[in-house]
Each structure stands twice: as structure tokens, then as C-alpha cells.
């Protein structure tokens, strides 16, 4: 889709305007957009060439855009207009992309449902009564509905990959450092990744080629050369080795998910891949979620201490500076965010750091060591991205102490603990709702990850799949 749009230079403006109008027309149903962009100014400044020339895209509303409101779906930032562009915005515009909208998300990217958004949740294009997943739900919805061929998200625990599964699209979290995070509102700095959505592996290759590269303003960004991912794409599975994550598979309960996944593994075997079940330590897998909560919320508490109403954002006045900050933060954050800040503050208390925060970091290290050991022998770790399709918006049935919840629904944080590249692709359907498969590869081996993704896309036929919004 991206390649065709780029080559159709005569209709570049038409493509952008159609995407913009479609996003507006679907807004009442999807609630995927926070702010629409000025497309006229961008069209007037289109470069003569570029990998994304004339391609309409959307940005998660935590990407800094100069002169365009950036709220992170939080009341405390509802009036915030940045004075600078994020690094990826510069790269996207240099490549000719046109931003049509800033998209809905969980507040401050904290959540996996998109239910905590200040303006209300995004609705799944396949079934408007269901969630998109979060925190990058708005971007996922616009791609799944066929509004844009690519949209930016961010992934701290699975915030690109889970919405991709629920919306039947490709969700990519590259290696930590592969894409600069300069100008991206942080959640947890050691776990945050810029990610993105597409509807095909080829579009995923083109998008990463544009987005990746060193940025001196983000000292964690990599100096490694960026490959031509599309040129190197190879779906031949002979000699490839896949580790099926046994801890996830044995805790699945949905027969449709089990059948679709097993059938896909059989198809990969038929194409020449070696597919083995690989078990991690079960107790370690159950510790991923609590360790993630501690690390992420401790880092978030520190990162967002600057949201005090003094320098920017919505201000609630007080008689003293302390009262002003208290009033602003009390009024500015939703209940879920306050809860996470309480957890983070507790973990950062000096008397708790060794007992809680440091212990969580040790769990993280053990998880990464286990992944490294597995990937010495295998090229990819695979499992369903979720047991069930997207939950209904009012669904609160999860047993949060079950292995199904602790492992199956939250294991993808392994990719954030390690920083390894991880991607979700459509693998089938449960009724009318899509199901996704997740894969994780060795660091900076996105080429290998795309190869697997392309093979799966060829097996399933789910290329450029779009939901018909009803």
C-alpha cells in the first residue's frame, strides 16, 4: 500500500484528503482521534521524493508536534502545544509523509485497554462494542479501519503489539535504540520503545527504514547502520528455528486460538522451519507482570514529576506553590494514573528500594538471561499475543492471579525487559474477531523478524486486511 501510494504522485493530495475525510467520518464511531492536523500546509511543503511521499499517517498523541496540541490523553496536558517536533516527525516529513491526526491512547500511555483516555476509549473497528487494546489504541484503529497505511504508537509493555492483535494488523516494536525517542513523552525510560502499525510486512519494512537511525539528542539511540529491510526480505523458512513459548501455549483456554496457532505452526513446518516447544521457568514467567509494574511505575513517577502546572499544562490555582501543584496534579490525573504513581512512589521510598525496586530489576535480568539462552539456539520465540480476541469495553472478568492472566496476557513485556525486537501479526479469527501471533528475535535482527512475518503473511493471506466499520 505505501509503495503504491508513493508511486502515485499525481494522486498524492487526493489520497491524503480521502484519508483525512475518512478519519473525520469515522470519528463518532471509533473515537480514534484527539486532534486533526493541518494537511494543507503539509501538502504545500511536500518534498519531490521520499519513501513516504504523499502517504497519510497518524501519530499517537504523545509524539511532540510543533504547533499542534499534544495531550497524551491527560487532563493535565489538555492545552499543551509543543514548541518542537520529535525526531521521528522530522524523519517522517523529510520522507514525504503527511500527518493527518494525533490519536487516542491510554492516559500518559499507562494502560493496556485504552479505557483510561481522558476523551473516552477508542472502539475496535471490527466490533464497536469491543476494546482496541492499549495504550496505542487510536493508531491501531485508524490502520485497521483502512484510514491510513501506517501509524505511530509506543510500546512499554505491549502497547503496540496487543492492539495489533486485537485489531488484526501488524504491530512492530523494534530493538531498543533502533528508533530515537527524542520528543516522545516518556512512560518508563528503560522500557519505552517507539513502535508502529501497518497492514503488511512490506509496509513495516519501509516504515522502519524511514524511522530508524542514530539521533544525538537520544543517547540511547544506536549507531548501527540501518539495513534496507524491504530489499533483504526473504520468506524462505528452510533452516529457520522457532521456539514456541510453552508457558503461554499450555495456559491457553480458547479452543479457537489453540487451533489457529497450532495450524500455523504446522504450516511453518511444511515450509521448512523447525518448530519446537520451549519452556521457561514457570515462576519466573509469573513474576514478569509484578516486576514490570514496579519498574515501570517507579520510572513513571520520576519522569512525570515535572507535570506540576508550573511550567506548562493545565493549572489549578492555589494560595501557595505547594497548593497549586497539589491542586493541579489532583485535578489533572485520572484514577488509574494516581494509583500507578502511588505504587511508583512506594517503590522508590529509600526503605523499599532494595526490597522491591532492586528485586524487580533482578527479575528483569533473569528474564533477559533466559531469553538470551533460548535465542542462542532459536531464531525466534513465538506464541499467541492473547488468548482471546478483543474484550468488550465493559469486560472485567479477568482473574488477575491466574496463570492465564499473569503469563498469557502479559508475557510480551519480556520484549521490553530485553529490548529485543518483537512484532505481532494477524494469524486468524475467532468468529469475526482477529487473533494475533507475537514473535521476538535477537537484538537488531529485525530483518529475520520480517522474514518470519512475511512467511506467515503468505500462509494466512492476511495482507492489507481492513475492517468494515459498521
**Measured distance CA(394)–CA(129) in Å, rounded:** 9
pLDDT at position 396: 83
For the ranges 213-217, 314-318, 398-402, the maximum mean pLDDT occurs at: 213-217
Under 8 Å between Cβ of 130 and 137: no
**Catalytic annotation on 64?**
no
pLDDT (mean) for 349-374: 96
Is 119 annotated in the active site?
no
Query: Would you place residue 399 in the very low, low, confident or very high pLDDT band (cuts 50, 70, 90)?
Result: confident
Rounded mean pLDDT, 454-461: 98
Q: How confident is the model at residue 6 (pLDDT cuts 50, 70, 90)?
A: confident
Task: Calculate mean pLDDT across residues 356-361.
Answer: 96
* pLDDT of res. 7: 79
Q: Which of 441, 449, 436, 443 lies closest to 167 in space, CA to CA?
A: 436
pTM (2 decimals)?
0.98
Count of beta carbons in the 10 Å neighbourhood of residue 255 = 9
Annotated catalytic, 60? yes
What is residue 397's predicted lDDT score, i.e. its pLDDT?
79
The active-site residue, picked from 60, 91, 102, 173, is 60
Predicted local confidence at residue 311, as pLDDT: 85
Return the pLDDT at 223. Answer: 98
Q: Which residues of 31-51 are buried (b: 16+ CB within 10 A; e: fewer)?
A: bbbbebbebeebeeebeeebb
Region for 369 from its dihedrals, namely left if φ exceeds 0, alpha if ψ lies in -120 to 50, beta otherwise? alpha
Instruction: Out of 135, 154, 221, 222, pick the active-site residue.
Output: 135
| Selected catalytic residue, list 64, 139, 159, 422 | 159
Fold for the domain defined by 2-237: Amidase signature (AS) enzymes (3.90.1300)
How do the domains of the chain map onto residue ranges? 2-237, 283-354
Amino acid at each position: 500500500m505505501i509503495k503504491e501510494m508513493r508511486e502515485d504522485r499525481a494522486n498524492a493530495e487526493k489520497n491524503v484528503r480521502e484519508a483525512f475525510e475518512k478519519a473525520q467520518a469515522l470519528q463518532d464511531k471509533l473515537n480514534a482521534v484527539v486532534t486533526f492536523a493541518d494537511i494543507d500546509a503539509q501538502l504545500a511543503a511536500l518534498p519531490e521524493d521520499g519513501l513516504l511521499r504523499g502517504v497519510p499517517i497518524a501519530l499517537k498523541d504523545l509524539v511532540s508536534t510543533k504547533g499542534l496540541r499534544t495531550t497524551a490523553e491527560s487532563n493535565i496536558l489538555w492545552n499543551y502545544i509543543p514548541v518542537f517536533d520529535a525526531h521521528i516527525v522530522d524523519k517522517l516529513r523529510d520522507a514525504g509523509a503527511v500527518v493527518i491526526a494525533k490519536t487516542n491512547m491510554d492516559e500518559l500511555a499507562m494502560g493496556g485497554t485504552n479505557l483510561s483516555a481522558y476523551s473516552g476509549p477508542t472502539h475496535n473497528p471490527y466490533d464497536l462494542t469491543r476494546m482496541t487494546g492499549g495504550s496505542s489504541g487510536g493508531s491501531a484503529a485508524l490502520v485497521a479501519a483502512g484510514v491510513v497505511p501506517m501509524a505511530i504508537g509506543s510500546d512499554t509493555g505491549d502497547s503496540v503489539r496487543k492492539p495489533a492483535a486485537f485489531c488484526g494488523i501488524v504491530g512492530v516494536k523494534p530493538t531498543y535504540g533502533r528508533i530515537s525517542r527524542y520528543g516522545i513523552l516518556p512512560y518508563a525510560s528503560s522500557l519505552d520503545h517507539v513502535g508502529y502499525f501497518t497492514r503488511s510486512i512490506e509496509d513495516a519494512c519501509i516504515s522502519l527504514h524511514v524511522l530508524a537511525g542514530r539521533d544525538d539528542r537520544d543517547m540511547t539511540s544506536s549507531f548501527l547502520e540501518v539495513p534496507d529491510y524491504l530489499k533483504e526480505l526473504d520468506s524462505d523458512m528452510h533452516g529457520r528455528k522457532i521456539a514456541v513459548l510453552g508457558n503461554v501455549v499450555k495456559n491457553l483456554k480458547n479452543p479457537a486460538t489453540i487451533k489457529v496457532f497450532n495450524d500455523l505452526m504446522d504450516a511453518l513446518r511444511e515450509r521448512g522451519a523447525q518448530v519446537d516447544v520451549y519452556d521457561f521457568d514457570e515462576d519466573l514467567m509469573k513474576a514478569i507482570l509484578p516486576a514490570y509494574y514496579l519498574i515501570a511505575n517507579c520510572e513513571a513517577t520520576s519522569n512525570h514529576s515535572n507535570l506540576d502546572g508550573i511550567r506548562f499544562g493545565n493549572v489549578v490555582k492555589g494560595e501557595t506553590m505547594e497548593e497549586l501543584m497539589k491542586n493541579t496534579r489532583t485535578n489533572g490525573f485520572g484514577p488509574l494514573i494516581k494509583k500507578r504513581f502511588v505504587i511508583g512512589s512506594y517503590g522508590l521510598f529509600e526503605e523499599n528500594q532494595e526490597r522491591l525496586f532492586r528485586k524487580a530489576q533482578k527479575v528483569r535480568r533473569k528474564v533477559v538471561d533466559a531469553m538470551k539462552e533460548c535465542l542462542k539456539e532459536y531464531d525466534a520465540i513465538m506464541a499467541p499475543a492473547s488468548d482471546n480476541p478483543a474484550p468488550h469495553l465493559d469486560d472485567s472478568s479477568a482473574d488477575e492471579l491466574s496463570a492465564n492472566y499473569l503469563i498469557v496476557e502479559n508475557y510480551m513485556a519480556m520484549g521490553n525487559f530485553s529490548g529485543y525486537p518483537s512484532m505481532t501479526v494477524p494469524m486468524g479469527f475467532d468468529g469475526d474477531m482477529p487473533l494475533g501471533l507475537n514473535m521476538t528475535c535477537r537484538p537488531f535482527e529485525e530483518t529475520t523478524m520480517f522474514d518470519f512475518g512475511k512467511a506467515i503473511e503468505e500462509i494466512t493471506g492476511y495482507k492489507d486486511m481492513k475492517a468494515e466499520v459498521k
